[in-house]
Amino acid sequence: MTIYIYDRKTQSLNKEDAYKIEGLLFLYQTKRGKLLTDLILKRRWISKAYGRKMDSKGSIKQIPKFVKHYNIDLNEVERPLHSFQSFNDFFIRKLKADARPVDHQATHLISPADARLYIFPIKETQQFPVKGYWYQLNDLVKNEKLSEAYSDGWCLIYRLAPSDYHRYGYIDNGHQDPVIKLNGVLHSVNPIALKAVEGLMTKNYRELTVLHTENFGDVVHIEVGALFVGKVVNQHYGAHSFLRGEEKGWFEFGGSTVIQLFKKDAIIPDADILEQSAKGIETLVKIGEKVGRK
């Protein structure tokens, strides 16, 4: 399966270089693989054991291969390569302060993460190729009041690939309600899995935060865990006042997703991202980058 991503800087489509893609194809497109996936999801200890392996000192040897495979720019990384104590320590690496400049124009909507972005109007999902993310909004948020409030708004889906910077931030100044944990399993969020598992995003473990922002109203911000570890770590689980560009949290090893819901007329997404989304193509974005406006 070939996945193409839109690069808005070069205005071109690029083939996504997925990590260990053969393994995903086996897990989600073969009979034996599907049985194994079911076993992994039911036996939580398998994911936990894999997590311990990624946290072990022995996993350090995987770092150079990972860096080479993805051509990761080590000049952006805050710490020298030899200082990392495990693969997961490198996976959640921090970047230098100037590596991801934040657009501080108050009326500009910014990305909360390095990701592949897909935007669609929730009311028109029947007309948009929504890649099997979900079928009913309430299945995602598990809250009828929230579901009704955003039913005619916008949905922004930020899919993080394993190579991405796995820390995410706040998109505006404001304050948050306490984080709500929505229990679930840990499927992969790669498009291969999205096509294979109906309503996948409503089945994965999620953490939901309502953000009361200065410029974009009330925003529903959801972190989605993923296959094997995909652990969600938020900095603040209670009420908290935040600033635009402040770090909200991070994902440990495993591709992950951030979903944001906006009310009708709260935002105007950038035209190039909407155009690609209508074709079923995600757009490459960086944390702090403009993706729309008030």
Among candidates 224, 255, 225, 228, which has minimal Cα distance to 161? 255
Among candidates 49, 43, 41, 37, which has minimal Cα distance to 185? 41
CA distances from 255 to 108, 137, 158, 232, 238 (A): 27, 22, 11, 11, 25
Among candidates 67, 58, 24, 92, which has minimal Cα distance to 251? 92
- Chain segment 101-126, per-residue pLDDT in tens: 999 999 999 999 999 999 999 988 76
Among candidates 279, 283, 270, which has minimal Cα distance to 11? 283
If you count them, how many residues does the chain have? Answer: 294
Domain spans of the chain, in order of start: 1-294
pLDDT of residue 21: 47
- Chain segment 260-280, per-residue pLDDT in tens: 999 999 999 999 999 999 998
Is the pLDDT at 130 greater than 80? The verdict is: no
The token pair that represents 166 in the structure block: 């796995």
Is the pLDDT at 196 greater than 90? The verdict is: no
Task: Give residue 183's pLDDT band: very low, low, confident or very high (50, 70, 90).
Answer: confident
Higher pLDDT, 245 or 47: 245
CA dihedral 212, 216, 217, 221 (to 10 degrees): -50
Q: What's the one-letter identity of residue 289?
A: E
Task: Give residue 190's pLDDT band: very low, low, confident or very high (50, 70, 90).
Answer: very low
pLDDT of residue 253: 76
Average pLDDT over residues 158-180: 94
The token pair that represents 263 in the structure block: 């009310």
Q: Phi and psi for 272 in degrees, rounded to 5?
A: -65, -35
Residue 179 near residue 207, CB atoms below 8 Å: yes
Task: Give residue 76's pLDDT band: very low, low, confident or very high (50, 70, 90).
Answer: very high
Task: Give residue 96's pLDDT band: very low, low, confident or very high (50, 70, 90).
Answer: very high
Is the pLDDT at 254 greater than 80? The verdict is: no
CA distances from 172 to 110, 203, 271 (A): 8, 29, 21
pLDDT of residue 292: 98
pLDDT of residue 257: 87
- The reported pTM is 0.85
Q: Phi and psi for 11 in degrees, rounded to 5?
A: 55, 45
CA angle 180, 217, 215 (to 5 degrees): 125
